[in-house]
Amino acid sequence: MKEQFTKDYNAFNMGVMALPLDFPGCLYNKAKHAVRRLVAVLTECARQSRIRMNQGEEPECLLDFWTKEILREIEEAEDAGLPAPPHTSEKEVGHHVFDFLFAAQDASTSSLVWAVTLLDSHPKVLEKVRKEQSTLSSPLSLEKIRLMEYTQMVVREVLRFRPPATLVPHVARVNFPITETYTIPKGTIVFPSVFDSSFQGFTDPHSFDPDRFSPERQEDQRYKRNWLVFGAGPHQCLGQRYAVNHLTLFTSLFTSMVEFTRVPTPGQDELVYTPTIAPKDHGFFLLSKRK
C-alpha cells in the first residue's frame, strides 16, 4: 500500500503541473484518478482511527487527536437533536488530511530548503540569526519562539522571496471587475501569481532583506495585498501560524546546531517546479555539527 500511495502522490504532483487535458493517459487525468485513490486510503485511515478512539484507546497521532474532537462534536450534536456536522464525516476528514498532506509536505519542504539556501548566501543575516538564538535558553517553547523577532523576520522574508506555491487557482463565482475596462466572467478559472505579487510594491523587492518586516519599516503591513503566500481574506491558509512557527523553529535549531556550506553546481539557483518551487540543486549542502 505504501508503494501505491507514493506512486499516486507523485502522479498527483505531476498532474498539478500538467495541462488540464482530461483524457485517458494524460497526466491530468492520471492525477484525478490518483487523488481519488489517495483520498480513499486516507478516508479508511479516518475510519480506523474512529474505531480505535470509540474503543477508548489512547491517541497515537494527530489524526487520532482530531478524531477525538470530532467524536465530541458528533456527541454534542446528537444530544442537541441535531445531525452530525458535515465536516465530521470520514470522507470529509480524508479530503482534509489530503489537503494537509500537500501543504505540510510539499510547501513546508520547499520553504525549509529555501531558508537554508538563502541563509547560506547571506552570511550577515545568518550571523544575526545565530546571535539572537544565543540569547535564548533551552528548552525551546512557544513563548521562546515569540521572542525570536529577527528570526521570524527572516522567515517572513524567505516566504516572500520564494513563496512555495507560486500560483493559486480560483474560480470567479460572479462577474468580477478587475479594471474599468475588463471584468472576469463568472465561472472563469483565474490563476493569481503569488510569486509575481511578492515582487510588487516592496522596497527593492528582488533583494533578500528581512529588515523590511521590522517594526520600523512594516512592509508586511504597507504592502499587505502583495504578501499573498498564505492567501488573503476569509479563504487564507488555515495553517499560516503553524507554518511560520514551524519554519522559525527549524531555523532556530538548524542554525544553532549545524554548520552548512552549499556545494556549488551549475545553475544551482535556477527555479524548478515540483510543483512547489525549489533551487535546481534541491539544496545540496555539506553539513557538520556546530561546535
Residues 6+ apart with CB under 8 A from 141: none
How high is the pLDDT of residue 189?
Answer: 84
CA atoms within 13 A on the CB side of 37: 18
pLDDT at residue number 105:
78
Integer Cα distance of 228 and 242 in angstroms: 16
Cβ 132 vs Cβ 151: under 8 Å: yes
pTM value? 0.80
* Mean pLDDT on 271-277: 87
Label residue 126 by pLDDT band (50, 70, 90): very high
Single out the residue of 52, 74, 78 nearest to residue 63, CA to CA.
Answer: 52
* CA gap 158, 186 in Å, rounded: 35
Domain 104-291: give its CATH code: 1.10.630.10
Burial of 248 (0-12, 13-18, 19+ CB in 10 A): buried
Q: Does the annotation list 26 as a binding residue? A: no
For the chain, the average pLDDT equals 91
* Residue 282 to residue 274: CA distance in whole angstroms: 10
Q: Cα dihedral sign for 65, 1, 106, 94?
A: negative
Domain edges within the chain: 1-88, 104-291
Strand ranges in the chain using DSSP code E only, listed in sequence order:
170-171, 176-177, 183-184, 189-190, 258-262, 271-273, 277-279, 285-289
pLDDT at 4: 94
pLDDT digits (tens, 9 = 90+) for 79-96: 999 999 999 999 999 999
Find the mean pLDDT for residues 178-207: 91
DSSP state of 104: I
Residue 19: is its pLDDT beyond 90? no
pLDDT for res 63: 93
